[in-house]
Amino acid sequence: MKLLIAGKGGVGKTTVAALLSHILADNGYSVLALDTDSVPNLAQSLGLPLEVAEGLVPLAKNEELAEERTGARPGEGWGLLFSLTPKVDDIVDKFGVRVRDGLSLVVVGSIDAGKEGCLCPAIALAKAFLNHVLLKRREVIVVDAEAGAEVFGRGLAEKFDMTICVSEPTVKSLAISRKLIKMSRDLGVRRNVLVINKVVDNLRAAQLYAKMFSNDPVPYHIVRYDENLVSIEARGLGVTSLPKGSPVVSDVFSLYNKVLKLIKL
Ligand SMILES: Nc1ncnc2c1ncn2[C@@H]1O[C@H](COP(=O)(O)OP(=O)(O)OP(=O)(O)O)[C@@H](O)[C@H]1O
Ligand SMILES: [Mg+2]
């Protein structure tokens, strides 16, 4: 099962990715979470201590490893000299961080050369790694994508079983999600779920969904606004510190059930 968590900036992708990863692990799945944001912070949301999280070097920025694996030195472009099939099958073991039983994280970083500056060999390595993971690894893969639509233009999105598009309950945010879901469908991702997050008024959110998605219905799921997130974030804690019965925990748990049902269809 390969799940892509997409959406515009700040809507709650990392929060949903972290909670879903823990819930999957709680239920006996072996989970590999991948952070592909250019400013990675999934480690912290998963509950790793700040000093551990801050010490993680994204693969897309690991020039030393890229040089070792591709033969290209930093600053060299997309030359013909470096290997296009670098060794990546040991990266989860060597660079993955064990969050808990059944849950590991690899910080990949952004594979968007425009965003990272041209660390070309390192980005080539990160991309080769993502391809490898999506084709070969047997764990449940949860990818916390970078904000926006770039993720659908990199030859990777089509390898996912499901796109979970996170949105806020606003016209603007839902309009962007509608576009992202269309891109995902056009690439052949068969299962797409819209998560309307930070919802204060469920009825209004449902009405807004009905208005915005009347022509292109998609399974949607409401996640309520949760004050507890504000409080854990202020203390630098991860989602594991949320109180039991916290609205966001129980709503992402129902999302988990919905995802399983849709995957089995
Ligand atoms: N259901 C919710 N209730 C209240 N606050 C929330 C909820 N979901 C997310 N947030 C808050 O919104 C902010 C953004 O969340 P998060 O970092 O998960 O978004 P993101 O989409 O990953 O952002 P980015 O695009 O910057 O990576 C955080 O402060 C988070 O605590
Ligand atoms: Mg994020």
> What is the token pair recorded at 57?
């070097």
From the CA of 37, give the closest atom in ligand 1. 27
CA–centroid distance, residue 166 to ligand 1 (Å): 10
pLDDT tens string 59-74: 999 988 988 888 876 6
Written as six digits, the tokens of 39 are: 């400013």
Q: What's the confidence (pLDDT) of residue 170?
A: 97
Angle, helices 120-136 vs 63-70, to 10°: value is 70
Average pLDDT, the chain: 92
**Residue 33 to residues 44, 58, 137, 261, Cα–Cα distance (Å):** 12, 13, 12, 21
pLDDT at 46: 98
Residue 21 has what DSSP assignment? H
Ion ligand 2, residue ranges at CB < 5 A:
13-14
Q: What distance, in Å, lies between the first and last C-alpha atoms of the chain? A: 13
- The domain locations on the chain are 2-264
Cα 234 to ligand 1 centroid, rounded to whole Å:
13
Tell me if 29 CB under 6 Å of ligand 1. Answer: no
pLDDT at 47: 97
Q: Using a 6 Å cutoff on CB, does residue 226 contact ligand 1?
A: yes
Measured in Å, residue 86 CA sits from the centre of ligand 1 at 35
Q: What is the pLDDT of residue 154?
A: 77
Band (77; pLDDT cuts 50, 70, 90): low
Per-residue confidence band for 258, with pLDDT thresholds at 50, 70 and 90 = very high
- Name the residue at shortest CA distance from atom 7 of ligand 1: 198
Say yes or no: CB of residue 255 within 6 Å of ligand 1: no
Within 10 Å of residue 81's Cβ, how many Cβ atoms?
Answer: 12
| pLDDT computed for residue 153 by the predictor | 83
Give the separation between CA 18 and CA 224, rounded to whole angstroms: 16
pLDDT (average), residues 13-24: 98
Mean pLDDT across 135-157: 90
Mean pLDDT of 164-188: 97
* CA 147 to chain centroid: 10
Fold of 2-264: Rossmann fold (3.40.50)
What is the pLDDT, as a whole number, of residue 215?
A: 94
Angle, vertex CA 108, rays to CA 103 and CA 77, nearest 5: 160
Inter-residue contact 45 to 139 (CB < 8 Å)? no
* pLDDT over 90 (residue 144): yes
Q: Which of 209, 213, 204 is nearest to 221 (CA)?
A: 209
Strand order in the sheet with 97-100: 97-100, 103-107, 31-35, 140-144, 2-7, 162-167, 191-199, 220-224
Tell me the two tokens of residue 4.
């892509």
- Give CA–CA dist 225/231, Å, rounded: 13
Q: 225-247: per-residue pLDDT in tens?
A: 999 999 999 999 999 999 989 99
Provide the pLDDT for residue 36. 95
Q: Does 116 sit in the ligand 1 pocket, CB within 6 Å?
A: no
Mutate to test the pocket of ligand 1, among 20, 36, 151, 229 (most ligand atoms within 8 A of CB): 229
| pLDDT attached to residue 112 | 80
Ligand 1 centroid, distance to 45 Cα (angstroms): 10
Instruction: Please give the structure tokens belonging to residue 48.
Output: 């790793």
pLDDT over threshold 60, residue 117 = no
At residue 219, φ and ψ (nearest 5 deg) are -60, 130
Closest by alpha carbon to 19, among 203, 236, 254? 254
pTM for the model stands at: 0.95
Nearest CA to ligand 1 atom 23: 10
C-alpha distances (whole Å) from 57 to each of 52, 102, 259 are: 10, 22, 31
Over residues 95-119, mean pLDDT:
85
The structure tokens listed for 22 are 């823990």
- What single-letter DSSP state applies at residue 126? H
pLDDT-derived band of residue 2, with 50, 70 and 90 as boundaries?
A: very high
Share of the chain above pLDDT 70, in %: 93
Looking at the CA of 205, which ligand is closest? 1
